[in-house]
Amino acid sequence: DGGITQSPKYLFRKEGQNVTLSCEQNLNHDAMYWYRQDPGQGLRLIYYSQIVNDFQKGDIAEGYSVSREKKESFPLTVTSAQKNPTAFYLCASKDRSYGYTFGSGTRLTVV
């Protein structure tokens, strides 16, 4: 079945550590997105990519980095510059239709 796979489901980060969240899709979608969700809040856009080897900053890109070397993969790195990284991270992709397909998310906690 086609879909988006995010891993790991839970991730713990120590202060000053970089961590990378994986996002893989087999939907053949061109566009991919990373969103952050805080408790009781909506989703805020971190980065997005319309095609391979191209990506753009979203509304809250500071402290994050991404790459898009393959159509299927859009990993997100949470760097030590992100001062409040504890959140639920959601990856999404989109084809020419109107709806986004989301992965099941990664819950990141700073310890």
Partner 1 sequence: GQSLEQPSEVTAVEGAIVQINCTYQTSGFYGLSWYQQHDGGAPTFLSYNGLDGLEETGRFSSFLSRSDSYGYLLLQELQMKDSASYFCAVRVFLYGGATNKLIFGTGTLLAVQP
Reading the block at residue 56, the tokens are 């753009």
Q: Residue type for 98, please?
A: Y
Contacts of 100 (CB under 8 A, 6+ apart): 33, 92, 93, 94
Identify which of residues 85 and 103 has a Cβ nearer to partner 1 in the complex: 103
Site string for partner 1, 68-97 (x = CB under 8 A): --------------------x-x-------
* Contact between 21 and partner 1 per CB under 8 A: no
Identify the CA nearest to 75 among candidates 4, 15, 12. 4
What residue ranges bind partner 1 (CB under 8 A)? 33, 35, 40-45, 48, 50, 56, 58, 88, 90, 98-105, 107
